[in-house]
Amino acid sequence: MKYVAGITGIGISLPERVLTNFELEKMVETSDEWITTRTGIKERRIASIDIAASDLSTQAAIEALSMAKIKPEEIDLIIVCTVTPDMMFPATAAIVQNNIGAVNAAGFDLSAGCSGFIYGVTVANQFIKTGLYKNILVIGCDILSRITNFNDRNTCVLFGDGAGAVVISRTEDEGIINQYIKVDGSGGAYLTLPAGGSRTPASFDTMEKGLNYTHMDGAEVFKFAVKAMPDAVNHILENTGLNILDINYLIPHQANIRIIESAVKRLHFPMDRVGISIDKYGNMSSASIPVALYEVYKDKKIKKNDKIVLVGFGAGLTYGALLIKWLI
Ligand code: COA
């Protein structure tokens, strides 16, 4: 028996609080002009202190379930892709499972940096293909403001908070057609959260040195990303025998508009078929791709049976791409 999977529901959750470039001008030595021209970001959302990853994840999941017309008890597995879980354990997936009453589900968190959502959908697809599961929730959620140093202008202008969730179900028509995921650990040092793990546990010293915040070599990550994204997309095209122009829409990870433009140019793909939401939300790590996908769907830029490529990169350094057929 051959089983196939597709996205049957999608939902998002974004904090209400908007942090503009003009507000950041008052916090660090930067300008709206610098941030806009160097990154494409105008504003980002920031979760209030009482909101954790499981809260945004739960809201996004409820909307996705409602669109898919799936009851929580029909969910077999919950995968929360995040680098900002509520706590190290229990997994955020366990908290979401309890929040939504998914009484028959397994659950775990997946750590693949900003490629998390690509990895999560890939994993979910395998569970459906083996026939083991019928309905899986994949949630990309990050509250990056909690691990961002708002005294460091190199990083604090880039990041934001949000969540996006999809229901992946066993479907008649194949919706998740191809995937390619990779990791290159040799570049791991370019994007890290140095303290708080078993190598360097959190302490007063790590707090003082700012090691509990994201550290990044922006130029190195930039160089990696502009090659990795086209590379992942080209693997998908090779695997499926498709031409880039057979793709109706491209949804890239939203880290920097210049990275997106450079990758899209290398692929010889038209920018007017690329999902862009970085101006409003900045980089929300695992949430960026599902949120951008949700918006192009709500804006009616994609329609049923369209071929869409999702592509991302992130801490690891990870990267990957998915080819989906839109079934909604
Ligand atoms: N405001 C004003 N100036 C800033 C600034 C800010 N927010 N951040 C950095 N600068 C300064 C730098 O200090 C540097 O000054 P210097 O020349 O006096 O040292 C100057 O701007 C240029 O820095 P540079 O690193 O060359 O800028 P850039 O054009 O490469 O842009 C990034 C920097 C971080 C925006 C860019 O490298 C990037 O987006 N990298 C990828 C990051 C990423 O994707 N991370 C997440 C991965 S999932």
Please check whether the two domains, 4-173 and 178-325, share a CATH topology: yes
**Cα radius of gyration rounded to whole Å, the chain:** 19
- 176-183 β-sheet, strand order: 176-183, 318-325, 307-314, 249-252
* Euclidean distance between CA atoms 223 and 221, whole angstroms: 5
Tell me, what's the pLDDT at 294? Answer: 98
Q: Measured in angstroms, how far is the CA atom of residue 214 from the centroid of ligand 1?
A: 14
What is the dihedral sign for C-alpha 254, 197, 106, 103? negative
pTM: 0.98
Q: Using the atom order of ligand 1, give the atom closest to the CA of residue 256.
A: 39
Q: Provide the pLDDT for residue 291.
A: 98
Residue 220: the pLDDT is 98
Q: Per-residue confidence of the chain (328 residues) as pLDDT tens digits?
A: 899 999 999 999 999 999 999 999 999 999 999 999 999 999 999 999 999 999 999 999 999 999 999 999 999 999 999 999 999 999 999 999 999 999 999 999 999 999 999 999 999 999 999 999 999 999 999 999 999 999 999 999 999 999 999 999 999 999 999 999 999 999 999 999 999 999 999 999 999 999 999 999 999 999 999 999 999 999 999 999 999 999 999 999 999 999 999 999 999 999 999 999 999 999 999 999 999 999 999 999 999 999 999 999 999 999 999 999 999 9
Active site residues: 114, 253, 283
Q: Which atom of ligand 1 is nearest to the CA of 312?
A: 48
Q: Confirm or reject: Cβ of 283 under 6 Å from ligand 1.
A: yes
Q: Pick the closest to residue 189 from 208, 206, 214 (CA basis).
A: 214
Does 59 sit in the ligand 1 pocket, CB within 6 Å?
no
* Beta strands 77-81 and 106-110, pairing class: parallel
Q: Is the CB of 150 under 6 A from ligand 1?
A: no
Residue 286 Cβ < 6 Å to ligand 1 = no
Kindly state if the Cβ of 221 falls inside 6 Å of ligand 1: yes
Four-way CATH pick for 178-325: 3.50.30.50, 3.30.530.20, 3.40.47.10, 2.60.40.1120: 3.40.47.10
Beta bridge mates, 13? 163
Superfamily of domain 4-173 in CATH is: Thiolase/Chalcone synthase (3.40.47.10)
For atom 46 of ligand 1, the residue with the nearest CA is 255
Domain ranges of the chain: 4-173, 178-325
Hey, which residues does 142 pair with through a beta bridge?
A: 162
Tokens 């057929």 sit on residue: 325
- Give me the pLDDT at residue 1, please: 84
As a whole number of angstroms, the distance between CA 141 and CA 98 comes to: 17
